[in-house]
């Protein structure tokens, strides 16, 4: 199955426009992160109590907050789900109190006419949360270093640098969009980030492999022409793979419920950005590197 018959798009000729677009995306995300004081971390990393409750009738956020205010928790974070009868409550961790039980007791006392069904209770201490944050950052860093070593061994050092820069691009864009949309970074989202790294790398390696083959085959052609031809030759495969993955992720995003919403959002952005970057970021970096090579030799 092929979406394109002998495509001849000038991807490399539009690389500067793509670089500007990527810079704007990353810049907007970094500004948002700076304004918000970093990413919005879930209780997995900063510690706290999470309680998910469901009522048997429509309840407003103000009613829930008013109920919790009677026990001194009126300023906790309350997230209302789309149905209007289910809420996610996040409160700070307190060592000498069973915060979750106090929250549940207050709600059941004030909403006697509406049964309160406790769907989920999670508790993470601040020390454990801090350790998880360090391990999550270390996992991403080790993955990138491992990829750099593997691609440098499998191809060339310039391919490795291009691949790692592309992966950093994908992670930064996704992280920035999380900040811009006010979404939390949880352990599940970190797992999604690592999945994005793997998906984007796979796409990039396919293009790189074709570039390497074509460089041997068409060694008399200009470098940028060979790279552009290689991208076009793998375009059908890239589009088919991305669309197939995208369909699954879209179902997960719209049908997976609130618990999986942030995880599937990260995958959704990652698939789109990973496909874009393998064409408009990774390969153009090789072209720019090759243009600078004579100057470096001189």
Write out pLDDT tens, residues 162-198.
888 998 899 899 999 999 998 888 888 888 888 888 8
Distances from the Cα of 259 to the Cαs of 59, 86, 146, 283, in angstroms? 20, 12, 31, 37
Q: Read off the pLDDT band of 110 (50, 70, 90).
A: confident
114 or 77: whose pLDDT is higher? Answer: 77
What is the C-alpha to C-alpha distance for residues 184 and 181, in angstroms, rounded to an integer?
Answer: 9
As a whole number of angstroms, the distance between CA 291 and CA 298 comes to 13
Q: Binning pLDDT at 50, 70 and 90, where does residue 23 land?
A: very high
Q: What percentage of the chain has pLDDT greater than the value 70?
A: 92
Q: Class assignment of domain 48-124?
A: alpha beta
Q: What number is the average pLDDT over the span 116-133? A: 76
CA distance 79 to 95: 24
Report the pLDDT value the prediction gives residue 296, as an integer from 0 to 100: 46
pLDDT of residue 31: 95
Of 177 and 124, the one with more pLDDT: 177
Residue 81 is encoded by which pair of tokens? 């789900």
Which residues lie closer than 8 Å to 151 by C-beta, 6 or more apart? 159, 160, 163, 164, 205, 208
- The answer, yes or no, to whether residue 245 has pLDDT greater than 80, is yes
pLDDT band at 239 (very low <50, low <70, confident <90, very high): confident
The answer to whether residue 157 scores a pLDDT higher than 60 is yes
Domain boundaries, the chain: 12-42+128-297, 48-124
What integer best gives the mean pLDDT of the chain? 84
Q: Which fold has domain 12-42+128-297?
A: Multidrug efflux transporter AcrB transmembrane fold (1.20.1640)
pLDDT at 276: 93
Which pLDDT band holds residue 90 (cuts at 50, 70, 90)? confident
pLDDT band, residue 126 (cuts 50/70/90): low
**If 0-12 CB within 10 Å is exposed, 13-18 middle and 19+ buried, where does residue 91 land?**
buried
């Amino acid at each position: 199955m092929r979406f394109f018959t002998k495509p001849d798009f000038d991807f490399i000729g539009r690389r500067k426009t793509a670089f500007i677009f990527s810079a704007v995306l990353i810049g907007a995300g970094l500004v948002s992160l700076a304004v918000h004081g970093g990413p919005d971390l879930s209780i997995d990393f900063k510690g706290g109590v999470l309680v998910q409750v469901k009522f048997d009738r429509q309840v407003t956020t103000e009613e829930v907050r008013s109920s919790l205010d009677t026990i001194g928790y009126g300023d906790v974070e309350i997230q209302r789900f789309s149905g209007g009868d289910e809420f996610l409550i996040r409160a700070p961790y307190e060592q000498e109190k069973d915060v979750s039980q106090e929250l549940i007791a207050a709600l059941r006392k004030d909403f006697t006419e509406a049964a309160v069904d406790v769907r989920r209770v999670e508790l993470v201490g601040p020390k454990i949360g801090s350790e998880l944050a360090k391990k999550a950052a270390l996992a991403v860093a080790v993955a990138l270093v491992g990829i750099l070593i593997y691609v440098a061994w499998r191809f060339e050092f310039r391919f490795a640098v291009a691949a790692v820069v592309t992966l950093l691009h994908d992670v930064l864009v996704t992280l920035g969009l999380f900040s811009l949309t006010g979404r939390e970074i949880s352990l599940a989202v970190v797992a999604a980030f690592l999945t994005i790294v793997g998906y984007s790398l796979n796409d990039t390696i396919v293009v790189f492999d074709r570039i390497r083959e074509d460089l041997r085959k068409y060694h008399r052609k200009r470098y940028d022409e060979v790279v552009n031809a290689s991208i076009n030759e793998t375009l059908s495969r890239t589009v088919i793979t991305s669309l197939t993955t995208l369909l699954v992720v879209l179902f997960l995003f719209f049908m997976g419920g609130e618990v999986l919403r942030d995880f599937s959002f990260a995958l959704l952005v990652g698939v789109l950005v990973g496909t874009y970057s393998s064409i408009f970021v990774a390969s153009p970096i090789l072209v720019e590197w090759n243009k600078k090579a004579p100057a470096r030799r001189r």
